[in-house]
Amino acid sequence: MSIQIFGLSVSRGVAIGRAVRLGAGRLEVEHAFVTEADVPGELLRLRVARDEISAEITALRDDLPPDAPAELGALLEVHQMLLHDQVLIEAVKVWVRERHYNAEWALASQLDVLTQQFDEMDDPYLRERKMDLEQVVDRLVRRVRAGREVPPGAAPAPVDPVAAVQGAEPGEELILVAHDIGPADMMHFRRSVFRGFVTDVGGKTSHTAIVARSMDIPAVVGATEASALIRSDDLLVIDGDAGVVIVDPSPIVLEEYRYRQQHSRLDRDRLLRLRGTAAQTLDGVDISLHANIELPGDAATALAAGAAGIGLFRSEFLFMQRAGSLPGEEEQFQAYRSVCEAMGERPVTIRTIDIGADKPLERGSTDSRADRGLNPAMGLRAIRWSLAEPTMFLTQLRALLRASAHGRLRILVPMLMHVREALQVRQYLTQAQNELRAAGIPFDEAVPLGIMVEVPAAAIALDVLLPHADFVSIGTNDLIQYTLAVDRADEQVSDLYDPWHPAVLHLLQRTIALTHRAGKTASICGELAGDPQLTDLLLAMGLRQFSMHPSRLLPIKQQILRADCGKLEQALPDILSSSDPQATAQSLWRGATPLH
């Protein structure tokens, strides 16, 4: 029976595919397709792993001392039965043969199916056997994974996830369904086989939503109970425009969405024609469109999309998924240099590490205080964390300065709001410069240092901060969150997260105006920069530099090409003085045409 699950629209478009559930206590496995030629090797790994574990269980049972508890022997018998259970093993083989999943993924998928069946059992004893099943499958996954690490010739060659996905035979697209997906997980899935995301929790600017938009794939977050209602392998339709997930759609509905999916692809093809067009308004105002990136390799994507520079390189992603170890100076330098060299004469703005809030370091790092606070969003994060860790901060500053000799690098400081913080940053920057001079290492002596305006205090006190900054970048995601006291990742208050709120608009307009009056550049690197529904408003405020994910550059360029800054600016006073700015903007700029 077809059902609809409603959530928040965070990344537009249509995705159609089979569900892959990611439970809260999931097994950490590689999600990789294998080719038809690799199927026998995957099945062999599965059989070898099962036989080895079975032999170990038999040996343990035979070696039990006479006084061992009877329950222990019974437990081993249960594990042996589960290990050879045909419902488990044969179904896993089907996942491999028909879906071309690698063995670990096939095991995890079948475990998900069986655990749901256990949860629905009336008998408490049978329900508790779910834990035994999870233990058996976990051992199998670990053994299969270990089987990929044996010397060549002793077993089939390991699967390269990226190569496997690229070389896999065509099949149905897949949609990831989870309670939540953390930033580290999202980075892992960026190059995965998934073509859409559905989560129980999250808001429009939660990290899951941001990365889904950056991947330019449809996503719905805040779809409460989605992971409980959706089963593995259910056919799903994600309507990213309406924020709806349709489970097992009827043939008529499915055909309608396939048509919409094709129409969306045609629209994207038309946008590609704008790639070489200058971003200039109808009245001749030049606009600079920059790209936000997370990893050095993303620079190529930015260039392909026609970016005029990198407006935000989120350096913290170099520090994540490292099992507690931090990147050293040389590793950071190579990463920053590669981006500078890839961008040539185009400017590259690199933000110092912004750890904390929704991007904590993994437990076990050299200092995990950044994610220990009662309220991480307001605790030791961003520049506060860097200033509390001067050794780490100096290492990053030296790496950034060294890379500045290889391009037009600019350093951006996140969440700065006190003059004393600005002075401390300058002091550490001077120290890093002196250390490099003493070592005879070249760097840009005039490397620009900018501040991110992310909290209302910084926007209100900007006139006292500007003398200490060479440029300003507005982080609208946090600025809206802190101004409205709305957790941007909480779907329960997502309707209150409103970029059109008069307080937000006044802070944006004030920040842009004060920065320009000081003869410095202002840009926006938050999600607002990539939202075509707000482009006219930002142009009216005088914004001339936008930074967004590469996938948003062409839609924003299209909006800019249709705009007339002079006419837009004339309407700004009425919009800013309105109790309903969005409705006023609709009326003045687009007549009866809705913005949403």
Q: CA torsion sign, 184 to 185 to 190 to 192?
A: positive
In a domain? residue 347: yes
In a domain? residue 452: yes
Supply the CATH number for residue 442's domain.
Answer: 3.20.20.60
Q: What are residue 246's DSSP bridge partners? A: 4, 237
The catalytic residue among 100, 406, 525, 549 is 525
Q: Is 31 among the catalytic positions?
A: no
- In this structure, the answer to whether residues 283 and 265 fall within a common structural domain is no
Nearest Cα neighbor of 34 from 51, 46, 16 is 46
pLDDT at 69: 60
pLDDT at 581: 93
**Around Cβ 28, how many Cβ atoms within 10 Å?**
11
Q: Is 207 among the catalytic positions?
A: yes
Q: CA torsion sign, 506 to 508 to 514 to 519?
A: negative
- In this structure, the answer to whether residues 143 and 193 fall within a common structural domain is no
Among residues 241, 270, 299, which one ends one of the domains?
A: 270
- In this structure, the answer to whether residues 318 and 453 fall within a common structural domain is yes
Determine the 3-state secondary structure of 516 from DSSP.
Answer: helix
In a domain? residue 286: yes
- In this structure, the answer to whether residues 380 and 317 fall within a common structural domain is yes
In the chain, how many domains are there? 3
Q: CA torsion sign, 162 to 168 to 174 to 179?
A: negative
Sort strands 194-199 and 174-178 into parallel, antiparallel or unpaired.
parallel
3-state secondary structure 205-271: CCHHHHHHHHCCCCEEECCCCHHHHCCCCCEEEEECCCCEEEECCCHHHHHHHHHHHHHHHHHHHHH
Among residues 147, 178, 196, which one ends one of the domains?
A: 147
- In this structure, the answer to whether residues 441 and 491 fall within a common structural domain is yes
- In this structure, the answer to whether residues 284 and 245 fall within a common structural domain is no
* Measured distance CA(386)–CA(392) in Å, rounded: 7
* Measured distance CA(182)–CA(323) in Å, rounded: 15
- In this structure, the answer to whether residues 140 and 192 fall within a common structural domain is no
In a domain? residue 158: no
pLDDT at 127: 59
Among residues 239, 270, 301, which one ends one of the domains?
A: 270
Dihedral of the alpha carbons of 142, 143, 148, 149, in degrees to the nearest 10: 90
CA angle 12, 16, 21 (to 5 degrees): 100
* Measured distance CA(197)–CA(208) in Å, rounded: 9
- In this structure, the answer to whether residues 257 and 382 fall within a common structural domain is no
pLDDT at 191: 58
**Around Cβ 575, how many Cβ atoms within 10 Å?**
26
Domain coverage including residue 208:
3-23+169-270
**Residue 30 is encoded by which pair of tokens?**
């590689």
- In this structure, the answer to whether residues 285 and 263 fall within a common structural domain is no
**Residue 425 is encoded by which pair of tokens?**
């940053």
pLDDT at 368: 45
pLDDT at 106: 86
Q: What are residue 523's DSSP bridge partners? A: 473
The catalytic residue among 31, 79, 100, 207 is 207
In a domain? residue 162: no
In a domain? residue 164: no
- In this structure, the answer to whether residues 217 and 323 fall within a common structural domain is no
- In this structure, the answer to whether residues 10 and 106 fall within a common structural domain is no
- The rounded Cα 234 to chain-centroid distance in angstroms is 24
Q: Which residue has the tokens 């802070």?
A: 507
Supply the CATH number for residue 257's domain.
Answer: 3.50.30.10
In a domain? residue 259: yes
In a domain? residue 548: yes
- In this structure, the answer to whether residues 214 and 319 fall within a common structural domain is no
Sort strands 235-239 and 14-22 into parallel, antiparallel or unpaired.
antiparallel
- One digit per residue, pLDDT tens: the chain, 596 residues? 789 999 988 878 899 998 888 754 455 677 778 888 889 988 998 889 888 888 888 887 777 777 666 666 777 787 888 888 887 888 889 889 988 888 888 888 888 788 777 767 766 656 556 667 777 888 888 888 777 654 433 333 333 333 333 333 345 688 888 887 765 566 556 656 788 889 888 777 666 677 677 677 888 988 888 888 898 889 999 998 889 999 999 999 999 999 998 888 888 888 888 988 999 999 999 999 999 998 898 899 899 999 999 999 999 888 876 656 788 999 999 999 999 999 999 999 999 999 765 555 654 444 444 444 556 677 788 899 999 999 999 999 999 999 999 999 999 999 999 999 999 999 999 999 999 999 999 999 999 999 999 999 999 999 999 999 999 999 999 999 999 998 876 767 877 889 999 999 999 999 999 999 999 999 999 889 999 999 999 999 999 999 998 988 999 999 999 999 999 999 999 999 999 999 999 888 764 333 33
Nearest Cα neighbor of 313 from 322, 302, 321, 304 is 302
Cβ–Cβ under 8 Å, residues 584 and 575: yes
Cβ–Cβ under 8 Å, residues 96 and 39: yes
pLDDT at 359: 55
Cβ–Cβ under 8 Å, residues 36 and 100: yes
Cβ–Cβ under 8 Å, residues 523 and 473: yes
| φ, ψ of residue 577 in degrees (nearest 5) | -90, 0
